[in-house]
A and B are shown apart, each in its own frame.
Chain A
Amino acid sequence: LEASTEAARLPVRRNTWDRVRGYIGEYGLIALLLALPVVYGIQDISEDGSLARLGNNVVDGLSNGSIWALVALGYTLVYGIIELINFAHGEVFMIGSLVSAGLFGTLGLTASTGAGGLILGLLLTLVVAMLASGSLNTMIERVAYRPLRNAPKLAPLITAIGFSFILQNVGILWIGGSPEGIPDLIDAQKELFNIGGVSIARGDVLAIAATIPLVLLLTTFISQSRLGRAMRATAQDPEAARLMGINVDTTISLTFVIGGIMAGAAGLIYALYQTTIWFLQGFQAGLIAFTAAVMGGIGNLQGAVLGGLIIGIIQQISDNRIGGEWTPAIVFVYLVLIMVFRPQGLLGEETREAG
């Protein structure tokens, strides 16, 4: 969905700093990203004689990161197509969790529900959460963004922030201001299997197993379907797409539907994985997912997934080795370094705006 152009680049004289930056941007970042795992891997081998601890960090990071990736897709989809940071997206994800938790109660799903009933119930919950979040996201686009399509770029940014706060307050009215524990339906932290000391829990399998097909489905849809092509065309040049007979407004709405659906799925997975929901979870997750989208290259689907997974792993390594109080700082140090040496993100290209 890259909103990129192949604009001819003017030959510019590169000074030493630019060359260093370019070199680091290409190779140094790989070293940077591998620094934590390599250092701690060596430490683990020398101290414990195995990489089990690092393996556990990576598994936890991948499962956490999968959820961030699903949320990040919503940010990157919308940015790719209309170059808007949909700040309300995190809250759409939060509403997905609240809808899911509400449905657990309505459907009578508890930890003691049988496997068959649980699977059916969760599938139904998944569909409802995706529909709820998708509809909500589309409604936000229709009410708060579409009327401002030709307004200065700050205007929809402000309405996005406004909607974010509105939805947070909906969350407060719904479940109150405190984090709320919900039934652990899948016994999320129960070890499913253990490979060489690396424990893989049910929650890890759920998060990764649910995310992979959703991401594959989305990328296939965008790359191969007619509507996906329309989305890519709109992302590249809305005016030209309109002239080619593409209904740009419908295409943009579709983008919000898809982003919302992903957020709804992430909401359910989050509820099952964390077993705690909170009206502010969307703000936190949104911040992380937006960072993931930027780190991966905003507008780039693979980049969003990659960014989500990287942040997940950094968070878990930091929580486990350095201390949870430092984790947000460490994640953003990584982001700053990546941005300085590769402003377009890990997999990003120049956007319409930048190009």
Chain B
Amino acid sequence: MLRVRWLALLSCLFAVFALTVSACGDDDDGGGGGGGGGGQTVDIYSSLPLQGASRPQTTAMVEGIKLALAQAGGKAGDYTVKYTSLDDSTAQAGTWTPEQASANARKVAQDDKAIAYIGEFNSGASAISIPILNEVPIAQVSPANTAVGLTSDEPGADAGEPEKYYPTGNRNYLRIVPKDTIQGAALASLMKSEGCGNVSILNDKEVYGAGLARNIEMSAKEIGLKVLSNEGIDPKAPNFRSQASAMKSAGTDCFVFSGITANGAVQLYKDVHAAMPDINLYGPDGVAESGFSDPKEGGIPADVQAKTKVTVATLSPDEYPPEGKKFFSDFEAKYNEPNPDPYAIYGYEAMRLVLDTCKKLGSDCSDKQAMIDALFQTKGRKSVLGTYDIDENGDTTLTDYGVYTIKDGELTFDKTIQAQGG
């Protein structure tokens, strides 16, 4: 009898413990719910790498998302919005992991009230979450992905893309940043305008890095640049001196890395600069973060910064329409940050797009398919980023890319490139 009581007591304790753990273990709840009282609730999630080199960017995105929700009073039409920020990275990896991206997507797929999933930051992560959310289906809006193959089979995509991401045959994924055909063309145009002739490309072999490298190569060749090499790297290699030496022997006068900071970018740029101190170095949005640019955060040193330029689909606040300018002043007012990370505005716009679409749908907002259809019907949207459409593939019609130099560890807007999709 005593044994049975003990067992019962243990079971109760275990149950209490399990409940406590599960309650405490929930991801960061962005709050936002605000409205409270009455009405129905819908859930919106974001899935971004909140640890590792991308943390400053993704933290800014989450702040942008929360700002949009706060400005809407935590509501979309009659619906109260509950926002939850999920993390698709681990401290161990220092970047996104397939396991976390998959776990986040599965968690949202099981939420009946979920209407949208803002993410991922990395194209490779979206390659994992899109098919999971496509089966439900739930609308996925990426504020940062640029890999061509996620939405189209245009040059730069791999065999089987994008169909393999959409098992139902219907689309549920869209993005508000221009895809890499645009970024590849922007980087090629930038290199051409700065007198490059012989370009060497290294890529990190991820969905994003390898795809963008193909786009850069194609665009560069189209405008008359000679591409000496386009090779993958072992991101975990201790250094890249011999590859840098090989590029030097080949006569490289401009170098571009197509990949993300977490995949050895800092060491790579240091080694390439050491081998060829006079050449210009270029990087895409994958390295547009303080973990790459700021030596205080483990980024490249000042002499390498001076030779490096980075493209990001974000412009100077002055170059945005009035709505964009207002975003920057609102952001500063809320977070006391006059110079937000370039990605903050994309987090904001992703949430605004979902909230505005939900409001437009009225009572149909909680209908997952209706939400997807409405998002794909976005036309002439006057946003903080400018006026854009979402095309049938889920791509934005925006094409502007910003060129950033690095000064004292900070990404500093230089100019806008009106790149044409290649």
> Would you give the 0/1 interface string for B232-253, flagging 1 where the beta carbon is closer than 8 Å to chain A?
1110111111110110010000
Contacts A177-B93, A181-B266 given: A60-B241 contact, CB under 8 Å? yes
Residues of A within 8 A of B237 (CB): 319, 324, 327
> Cβ of B240 and Cβ of A319 under 8 Å apart?
yes
Question: Which of B176-184, B292-300, B394-402 lines the interface with chain A?
Answer: B292-300
In chain B, residues 44-72, which have Cβ atoms closer than 8 Å to a Cβ of chain A? 51-53
| A321 cross-chain contacts in B, Cβ below 8 A | 246
- A276–B94 Cα distance when bound, in Å, is 15
How far, in angstroms, from A310 to B238 measured CA to CA in the complex? Answer: 16
Residue of A nearest to B263 (CB): A179
Chain B residue nearest to A182 (CB atoms) is B298
Does chain A have a CB within 8 A of B264?
Answer: yes
B residues within 8 A CB of A225? none
> What are the residues of chain A within 8 A of B245 when measuring CB–CB?
56-57, 60, 320
B267 touches A (CB below 8 Å): yes
Contact A324 B300 (CB under 8 A): no
On whether A324 and B241 interact (CB within 8 A), knowing A177-B51, A179-B266, A184-B301, the answer reads no
- A179 close to B242 (CB less than 8 A): no
Name B260-278 residues within 8 Å CB distance of A.
261-262, 264, 266-267, 270-271, 274-275
* Residues of chain A contacted by B274 (CB below 8 angstroms): 188-190
**A18 CB within 8 Å of chain B:** no
Check: A274 CB closer than 8 A to any chain B CB: yes
Residues of B within 8 A of A270 (CB): 238
Q: Does A284 contact B (CB under 8 A)?
A: yes
Check if A64 sits within 8 Å of B232, measured CB to CB. no
**Given known A189-B275, A324-B233, A325-B232, contact A178–B242 (CB-CB < 8 A):** no
Given A320-B246, A323-B231, A177-B236 contact (CB < 8 Å): no
**Which residues in B have their C-beta under 8 angstroms from that of A275?**
267, 270
Interface size band for B: 35 or more
Chain A residues with CB under 8 A of B243: 319-320, 323-324
Q: In the complex the two chains form, is A178's CB within 8 Å of B92's CB?
A: no
Q: Which range holds the interface residue count of chain A?
A: 35 or more
Output the residue of B261, B264, B267, B274 with the most chain A CB within 10 A: B274
Task: Tell me which residues across on chain B come within 8 A of A175, comparing CB atoms.
Answer: 298
Q: Which of A56, A176, A285 contacts B238 (CB 8 A)?
A: A285
Residue among A172, A190, A324 making CB contact with B234, cutoff 8 Å: A324
B90 contacts across to A, CB distance below 8 A: 177
Q: Which of A64, A180, A190, A276 contacts B270 (CB 8 A)?
A: A276
**In the bound complex, how far is the Cα of B250 from the Cα of A53, in angstroms?**
12
CA distance A168 to B92 in the complex (A): 8
A194 CB to closest chain B CB (Å) equals 13
0/1 interface trace, chain B 271-309, chain A, CB 8 Å (1 if under): 100110000000000000001000101111100000000
Residue B4 lies at the interface, judged by CB distance under 8 Å to chain A: no
Tell me the chain A residues, 132-151 only, with Cβ under 8 Å from chain B.
none
Q: Does A236 contact B (CB under 8 A)?
A: no
- Residue numbers in B under 8 Å from A125 (CB-CB): none
A residues 144-201 touching B (CB-CB < 8 Å): 168-169, 172, 175-184, 188-190
The digit string for B96-124, where 1 denotes a CB below 8 A from any CB of A, is: 00000000000000000000000000000
Contact with B along A318-349 (1 / 0, CB 8 A): 01110111011000000000000000000000
* Complex Cα–Cα for A270 and B270 (A): 15
Point out the residues of chain B lying under 8 angstroms from A325, CB to CB: 205, 231-234
Closest partner residue, chain B, to A276 (CB atom):
B267
The 8 A CB mask of A256-294 against B (1 = contact, 0 = none) is 000000000000001001111001110011000000000
Bound CA–CA A211/B376 (angstroms): 62
Q: Which residues of A contact B53 (CB under 8 A)?
A: 178
CA of A284 to CA of B364, assembled, Å: 53
In this complex, what residue of A is CB-closest to B303? Answer: A184
CB contacts (< 8 Å) of A86 on chain B: these are: none
Chain A contacts for B299, CB-based, 8 A: 181
- What are the 5 tightest A-B residue pairs by CB atom distance, in nearest-first order? A177-B94, A180-B298, A189-B274, A319-B242, A320-B242
Given contacts A178-B52, A280-B236, A323-B232, 16 further A-B contacts (CB under 8 A): A64-B239, A168-B92, A176-B51, A176-B52, A178-B261, A178-B298, A180-B297, A189-B271, A285-B238, A316-B242, A319-B237, A319-B242, A320-B242, A324-B237, A325-B233, A327-B237
19 contacts between A and B (CB under 8 A): A60-B245, A64-B238, A172-B94, A176-B298, A177-B52, A177-B92, A178-B52, A179-B262, A181-B267, A181-B295, A181-B300, A184-B301, A274-B238, A274-B267, A275-B267, A276-B266, A276-B267, A319-B242, A324-B237
